[in-house]
Every structure is written in C-alpha cells, then in structure tokens.
C-alpha cells in the first residue's frame, strides 16, 4: 500500500534508521520514539535528502554539520538516563540545523532553550523547527560558551560542538542533580564524549566514548 502524507517516501528509511539504532544500543523508548517521529530529511539540504537517514554526519553549510543519527540518539539517551519528570529545563548549545533541538522538544516539551552562534544557522533553524511544529523552542543567537545565565539553572545541558575544556559558565548553570553531555577535544586532537553529573558534593565526570564534532565557536573566533 503506498504511503501518503507530506513526508511520503521517507517513512521506511526512518524506520530502518530506528531499527539500526536499537541494534547499536539505543534502548530508551522516548529516544526511539522521538527519532522515529522527527523527519530528519527536512533538516538537511535538499540535494542530500536521500542520505538523511544514513549513519553519517552531513554538511549544513558554513563549515557545520548535522550529527549522525547515533550521536543524536546516544547524547539524548544519556540526558534521559536519570529519568524525566516533565519539568526539566533543557539548554542546548549549538542549534545547528535544529534537528537535535527538535528531538529534545519532542521529549521535554517547551522547556527547551537553544543557542546558536552563527546567525545564518540560527535563522535556518527557526524556519526548519516551524516546519515540524517545534516553533515554541526558545532560540537565542548568542555565544554558547556563556550559556543563558538569566534562565539558569538548567536540569539538562547538551553541547553539540567540541570545546578544549569544560566551559565554566555552563557548569555554573547546571542545577544540582542535573546532567550535561558534551564532547571535549584533547590537545592531540582526539575528542571524547563526556557525561557530567552535578551533585551536592561536586561534579562526577564519565568518559563515554570517542567522538567527532565541529569546534565550539566563541566570540573570539571568526565571525560568519
């Protein structure tokens, strides 16, 4: 039976992607449901849409990329590992195309804030999030290193670009009991994905796996 609807032809590719993610160790039902629900092909350039559900990062312009599906899924699963009350306040650093943002909004509702440093991507993400019904995410065009101190504390923070060290401002804006997931790049250029948990006694850091992200841009870096 032929499929119908605005996203005709991509449903089966998205289903295959979700099955692949399950085999790769993504087991949280909320993450799998979000990945099955968000049309990733609407967040990539039209010429690349046939590859939207492949296990690969894709360029979105301005030397930036949309992360591969597994990366989005594992980072989201790490955030959710502590459970969800429905009241969590979530901060994303690096809106990019808006795909990870849409996944977060699907899970956490309208308590999602996202910062993008590149103005063209900030504007693009606004448009693409509206197209999938996620327009109530609070988007900011600002320096991700600084976070959003006027909205802190945040229960969950996710950083989608690699920094050479933990941004102090983001640690300060993480709530007690909160979780932050981010990639960090070592001096030799190798990146690792880290989980940071904030307890009343301090921070607990867990190295999860090797990673590959674009650099986290701050106000001292080149403007686009």
Domains and CATH numbers, the chain: 70-211 (3.40.50.150)
Distance set, CA 205 to CA 92, 162, 166 (Å): 19, 16, 11
pTM above 0.75, yes or no: yes
Number of Cβ within a 10 Å radius of residue 215 = 15
Question: What's the pLDDT score for residue 8?
Answer: 53
Q: Is the dihedral of CA 150, 156, 159, 163 positive or negative?
A: positive
Q: Which two tokens stand for residue 161?
A: 């670009």
pLDDT by 10s per residue, the chain, length 224: 344 344 457 999 999 999 999 999 999 999 999 999 999 999 999 999 999 999 999 999 888 999 999 999 999 999 999 888 889 999 999 999 999 999 999 999 989 999 999 999 999 999 999 999 888 899 999 999 999 999 999 999 999 999 999 999 999 999 999 999 999 999 999 999 999 999 999 999 999 999 999 988 776 554 43
Question: What's the pLDDT score for residue 136?
Answer: 84
Question: What's the pLDDT score for residue 217?
Answer: 74
Which residues are tagged catalytic? Answer: 67
Question: What's the pLDDT score for residue 219?
Answer: 61
Question: Cα–Cα distance between 70 and 216 in angstroms, integer?
Answer: 20
Per-residue burial over 153-187, b if 16 or more Cβ lie within 10 Å, else e, is bbbbbbbbbbbeebbeebeebbeeebbbbbbbbee
Helices (H), the chain: 11-23, 29-37, 69-80, 99-108, 119-131, 168-173
Question: What's the pLDDT score for residue 220?
Answer: 53
CB 57 within 8 A of CB 66: yes
């Amino acid at each position: 039976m032929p499929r119908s609807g605005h996203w005709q032809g991509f449903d089966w590719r998205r289903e295959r992607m979700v099955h692949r993610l399950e085999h790769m160790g993504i087991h949280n039902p909320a993450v799998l449901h979000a990945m099955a629900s968000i049309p990733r092909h609407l967040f990539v350039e039209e010429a690349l849409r046939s590859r939207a559900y492949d296990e690969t990062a894709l360029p979105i312009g301005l030397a930036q990329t949309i992360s591969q599906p597994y990366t989005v899924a594992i980072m989201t699963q790490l955030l959710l590992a502590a459970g969800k009350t429905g009241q969590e306040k979530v901060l994303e650093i690096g809106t990019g195309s808006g795909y990870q943002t849409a996944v977060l909004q699907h899970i956490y509702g309208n308590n999602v804030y996202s910062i993008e440093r590149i103005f063209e991507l900030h504007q693009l993400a606004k448009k693409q999030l509206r197209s999938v019904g996620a327009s109530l995410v609070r988007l900011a065009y600002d320096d991700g290193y600084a976070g959003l101190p006027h909205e802190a504390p945040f229960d969950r923070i996710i950083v989608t670009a690699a920094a050479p060290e933990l941004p102090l401002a983001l640690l300060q804006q993480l709530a007690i009991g909160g979780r932050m997931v981010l990639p960090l790049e070592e001096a030799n250029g190798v990146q690792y994905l880290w989980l940071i948990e904030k307890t009343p006694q301090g921070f607990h850091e867990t190295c999860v796996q090797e990673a590959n992200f674009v650099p986290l841009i701050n106000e001292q870096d080149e403007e686009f």
